[in-house]
Chains A and B, each alone.
Chain A
Amino acid sequence: MVNESVVHSCTTRQRTAVLIGMFVASCVGNMLAAAAEREPNEPDFEVGAIEGVVIYEYDRKRSWRYRRYYVADRKKGHLAEAVVGLAEEPLTLRPTKAKPQTWTVDQENYRFIPETLAVRSGDQIKFTNSDAVLHDVTTQQRQGLASEAIKRDSFSLRQRQKVLRTYRDGGTERPVTLSCRFHSAMRGWIYVFDHPFFQVTEKEGTFRLDDVPVGKHRLVMVHPAGNLRWDQVVEVKAGETHRIEIRVSPDNLRASEE
């Protein structure tokens, strides 16, 4: 609302300037008020959603020997522990960073649990050990898409000890890989995203990404244990949910597909 008493005591030019100033102040005030009413991480741009399911198509002639760990029902093919997320490069709008969270990667029964984790940049990872033996965790991450440089870190964990680490980047292409020097079959992956549009599929193979800015995005699915990769450009429309069925097969092993 414009203040009339101030307007009467000014010249036309001054009055115009004051009116513009008051209008701008009013708009900013309204925007701030609206922002104050929103959830802290609610986006201030038009959004839609992407939801779908990841399905692994069984091929008897080209068997994937880890399938039994990630596909509970051979006929349905729902793929668990797949990371589905938006590629970072074309994503220009993204919500502000929420308060960093802490995630636990335990070592139990000679496995990293979870084996595959996806987090936001700056989140804290708490490594723990529930086994009665010493584990010696080694983390490795490639330092750039075109770089062969690898950042390594290692730490020993006795039962009930913990170690905290924070990772900053990587997206779907450069996960932090986990291994144990003493127990070479142990492996795990941490994907670190600079935005909140990612999810790790559950047993049913499903995922849903909410509040995705409208427009075209590259949707990527990676399954590190199977070395499966898929990607496709999807279009998100305001207030709508883009539904997709991601079907992968041995053709997707070590391959990228449009």
Chain B
Amino acid sequence: MTSPLTTRRRALQTGVAGIAAVLASPKFVFPDQNDDEDLVPFLNMPRTGPNRLDWETLGEWITPQDQVFSVQHYGIPEVKPEEFKLEITGLVERPKTLTIDDIRGLPKKDQLMTLECSGNGAGKGFMNAIYNSKWTGTPLIPLLEECGIRKDAKEIVFIGVDRKEETLRTGTERELKIEVPFGRSMSIEDVMAKQPLVAHLRNDEPLELRNGAPLRLIVPGWYGIANVKWLTRIEVRDTRYMGRYMARDYVTVRGEKRGGEVVFVETSVNKMNLKSIVARVTRRETVGGLVPTKAYGAVWSDGTDIAKIEVKIDDGDWRQAKLDAEPRDKFCWTFFSIDLGKLKPGKHTVVSRAIDANGRVQPSQEDDEIALKKTYWEAYQQWPREIELEA
């Protein structure tokens, strides 16, 4: 008889059929976790609310809808799918306007992807804004090719239905109020490399309005902000788009040491960073005054291969954890586990760090890369978890 895990492994090797098998298979749990392990709650953490990933009870590789976060900057718009249209315009030879039914009739592609808000984990006030999904839609590049991108095009802007009045140069004589739609952009090169999807399904279900229904741009390996919701216009341009969420917000300000000097550099938030977190710590009955303890977690990146994951307790050495063999996918999180051995009762700190195939190491809060970052976004520092083991 074939085990569910074996089924999943084989399925993942066979592309789209594999994705379907993953979704149809029994609930995924960390494979090394046993029934007699009890959860050790993290100390000093806010309680997890609805519409947030719940690490400590995470039971599925694909995130259930009730644990899916949503963030919107101009509110959730009213959208009537039957009247909804996607316009492709700007520097194209043949502009196009498509209805939802037109898009549903186009060739489909599935994309497995972990989507994270770039502010996730910036502090205890904003945690667990991450989820893993199968998105289904039509690939963007063939659509653009049909429209004929002109040679002078440099950038593609993705515009949502959501709008708001913005104030520029607030409090000055040249203060300006304008109503603008939400927008983000990508260079032509990035679009070609990342191969975004115009998605209308999540896990085979129509998108929920709060998650961007009826159409959402899906950019594998890029932070949530780039995955424009309520996508209604794609505009090809020959100049940089400088909307608020490209040029003013979601701009990371980071100090870089150059000799004895710190130089601050501003960059727009786009591709996801190497990151891991201890999701769950479990224990068994005390044996000889010591507590058998295990840790489980997840690691993800912008699609760069993960080389290894390490875990440290208190001031001990880094120890290599075991990356789950499956389920896996290039743009999705991978789960890991480690037997921490028998620990003394009392308080402990458990932390993980990821190392990718290029040798990049997930930084700690004290490393310059994070310590000199002055803005909220791109919160990919190590996250120590505090626990208390009772005898």
- Which residues of A does B touch, CB under 8 Å? 63, 65-66, 68-69, 74, 109-111, 115, 133, 182-187, 225
Contact = CB atoms under 8 A, between A and B. Distances in A.
B260 interface: no
The DSSP consensus for interface residues of chain A is loop
Given A109-B44, A111-B47, A133 B57 contact: no
A74 B59 CA distance: 18
Given A65-B57, A68-B39, A109 B49 contact: no
Contacts of B125: 110, 133, 182-183, 185
Nearest to B54: A65
Contacts of A66: 47-48
Interface in B85-130: 123-128
B41 A185 contact: no
Contacts of A187: 49
Interface of B: 38-39, 41, 44-49, 51-52, 54, 56-57, 59, 123-128
Given A109-B124, A110-B124, A185 B57 contact: no
A63 B47 contact: no
Contacts of A74: 38
A185 B46 contact: yes
A186 B49 CA distance: 7
Contacts of A63: 57, 59
Contact of A109 (B46, B54, B57): B46
Contacts of B127: 185
B254 to A, nearest CB: 22
Contacts of A225: 47
Contacts of B39: 68
B44 A185 contact: no
A185 B59 contact: no
A110 B49 contact: no
Contacts of A68: 39, 41, 56-57
A226 to B, nearest CB: 11
Nearest to A185: B49
Given A182-B125, A185-B126, 16 more contacts: A65-B57, A66-B47, A68-B39, A68-B57, A74-B38, A109-B44, A110-B124, A110-B125, A133-B123, A183-B125, A184-B49, A184-B126, A185-B125, A185-B127, A186-B46, A187-B49
13 contacts: A65-B48, A66-B48, A68-B39, A68-B41, A109-B45, A109-B46, A109-B124, A110-B46, A115-B47, A183-B46, A185-B48, A185-B126, A186-B49
